[in-house]
Amino acid sequence: MSLQDDIHQKILYVIKQILLLLFFASGNIYAQESCLIKKMMENCILQTKLTQYYDSSYVKLDYPMGDVDIERGVCTDVIIRAFRAVDKDLQKEIHEDMKANFSQYPNNWAF
């Protein structure tokens, strides 16, 4: 197995774990929500084929809806793209939550 295949497998594993967590945390899922989750999962799998290079370098992004080249990124980029496939901008949601509730986040940033 090549390094690239290994990276794809690791990204896919993380994606599956996150989506399973979302699925079970949501409890009683209605048909429409099931369809959204299915679309997100399909997009996650598609992302593992499109994102060919693990690249953790810092890039200043546009906001909202900023992204790096589709062929590059890390697992969070793949997850954010999967949410966007169902019209949810996770990047924006997290940014707005952190802006409104930063004191509630752990104070262990390595900046």
The number of domains in the chain is 1
- Structural domain for 38, as ranges: 3-103
Q: Is residue 108 part of a domain?
A: no
**Considering the entire predicted model, what is its pTM?**
0.62
Contacts 24+ apart (CB under 8 A), 48-55: 48/8, 48/11, 48/12, 48/15, 48/78, 49/8, 51/11, 51/77, 51/78, 52/4, 53/4, 54/7, 54/11
Q: Is residue 16 part of a domain?
A: yes
Q: Is residue 93 part of a domain?
A: yes
Q: What is the pLDDT of residues 35-53, one digit of tens each?
A: 777 888 888 888 888 888 8
Q: What is the pLDDT of residues 83-110, one digit of tens each?
A: 888 888 888 988 899 899 888 888 877 6
Task: Tell me what pLDDT residue 108 has.
Answer: 79
Q: Is residue 58 part of a domain?
A: yes
